[in-house]
Structure 1
Amino acid sequence: MISPITSPILSDEEIRIICDPLQQPIAQIRFLRSLGLLVNRKPNGRALVARSEFERVLGAQRFAPDDSARIGPNLEAIRERWANKKRPAHTINGKSLQKE
């Protein structure tokens, strides 16, 4: 038999620990779904959750540093550029609206 650690599905004991203090299978299923997990039902009514699904939603990768936070415009450089840029003269039909 496959040990619970290498089993492709979470054991009833693991689900019980995750859902503590909930004991009724339907309440556990609702709770697991509220966490964003894809949950099926076993023939006995208990929750059936793939270990890979649990890792996808609640795994350690969720807490890994996010490199995407560093991707994006350099706002400081944009502000500096706009601060140093001379404003264009406002004109209508070639006539300047600025007072000299």
Structure 2
Amino acid sequence: MKKKSFILSRIINILVSAVQIIMGLYIVLKLFGAAEVPFVHWIYTLSAPLLAPFKGIFHSILFQESYYLDLSAVFALIVYSIAGYVLVRLALVIESRG
């Protein structure tokens, strides 16, 4: 019996994981007010197109004058995670039939 590959679901899973990592790093770096060093700038640049559809949905929260929580980014992370889960499940259904 030939083992099924499930390549599409793996690719989607890898892409969603990359998006989750970028978004998670963005949220943490913003929360703790990371300095504008090259790595931080790179993460902000990578996350900008991912955050664009969600910009301004929620107001950000400022804690103790130095901790900045971008609620729109948190919401974007949740939406991308749910969409990724649905896409992976759909890909698994399609691949298991083929």
Same fold (TM over 0.5): no
* TM tier, smaller: under 0.3
TM normalised by structure 2 equals 0.28
Higher relative contact order (CA 8 A, sep 6+): 2
Give the structure with the larger helix fraction: 2
TM normalised by structure 1 equals 0.27
